[in-house]
Amino acid sequence: MGGRGTPLVFLHGAGLGYVPYRRALSLLPQLGFLVVAVDAPGHGRSDGPREAGTDFSMRAALVGRILDELGVERAVLVGHSMGGRKVIELSAARPERTLCAVLLDAAAGGPLDARAARSLTHPPDLARQIGAAMWDTVHFRTGLDRGERAAYRAVLRASVLQALRRPSSVTAPIGLTMRAAPSVPLLRRMREAGVPAVVVHGERDLLVPLESAVDQARQSGAPLYVLPGAFHSWVMSMPRRLLAVMTALLEQELGGALAASGVHPRGRTAAELEDACLAKDARLLDLVPPIEVVDTSAPPGPAVARMVRHQGPRSGTSDAAPGESIAR
C-alpha cells in the first residue's frame, strides 16, 4: 500500500484479496504506519491456486517468509477473519516480530474451533456457514453515506462475479481455515510469550459468533472491543470505521505496546521508526510510495466510531465483563 513509519501488515479474509479493503487501508498511513497488504496464494494479485495445500500453518508461514524477503523484522499484524487466524499463527510461531496482534473478527476461539470440527463432517453446516458469510457481506449497510454505498456496491459486484465464475474461490479458503489446527493452544502460546494483542469484533457478526471473540480475549489475555451493531464485513463496508478503531487503539493498548517497543508513531520520525523495524536496505522501501497523509477527514460520527471495551470475561463464563464506551 504505502506510507512511512511503523510497519503495519494487513492480512485479508477468505476468498478476498487486499483490494476490497483498499479504501480502509489507505486511511492508515496518516497515523504513522507503513502499510503492507499481503494477498494469500490465489487471491487478488497473488499467483497460485486457492485449493493448493491443506495445512493452514504452512500458508501462515508463507506470510512470514514474504516478510523476511521484504525485510520486515517487526510489525503490527492486523488480520480480518481468516487473516486474523493467520496473525495468531504468525504471532505464536514468531512472537519476537509481532509488535501487536490486532484481531478483527478473527476466525478463532474455542467455540469456532468446535463449530468448524462439526461442519467438516456435516455438509449442511458448511453450507450454512457459507450462506451466513454471503448474507453478512451483502446485508450490512448501516451508517454508510451515498458515496460509501456506491463504492461498497462496486466491491460487492466484483466479489460476486468472481464467486460465480469460480465458486471454489469462496468455499476452498473457508474449508482450509476450518481444517486448521485448533486455535486455542496458539492463543495461549501468544499469551505465554507476552505478545501484545487486541480483539475487535462486530456485535452482530454472523460468521464468527461474539462468544468466539470472548474466548479469543480470554485465551490470549487481550482486551476485547465490541463494535455495537457491526457485522463481520464492517472492515470493508465502513472504511472510516477502521481509521476510528486504530486511532482509538493508539491511545489505548496498541499505543502502549508500541511505546514499550520504542516504535510509537508519535514522537519519532518515519525514518527512525523504519530503522527500528526493518532490515537494512529492506526491499519493501523500494516497493511502496512515500504516502505521508492520504485523508485527514474525521470519522463520520460516534454512531460509526463507537466501540465498547470489555476488561475481560468473567472466570468460568462465556460472557464479557461490563465495559466502557469509547467514541472517537
Cell, residue 204 = 452482530
| Contact assessment for residue 76 and residue 100, using Cβ atoms and an 8 Å cutoff | yes
Between strands 6-11 and 75-80, the pairing is parallel
The catalytic position among 26, 81, 91, 119 is 81
Q: Specify whether 286 is catalytic.
A: no
Q: Among 39, 105, 113, 205, which one carries the catalytic annotation?
A: 205
What span, in angstroms and rounded, lies between the C-alpha atoms of 1 and 235?
A: 16
Kindly state the helix (H) or strand (E) to which residue 156 belongs, with its residue range.
helix 146-165
Question: Which H or E element spans position 25?
Answer: helix 22-25
- Whether 237 is a known active-site residue: answer no
Distance CA 48, CA 50 (A): 6
Closest of 305, 295, 297, 299 to residue 2, by C-alpha: 295
User: What is residue 98's three-state secondary structure?
Assistant: strand
**Residues assigned a catalytic role:** 81, 205
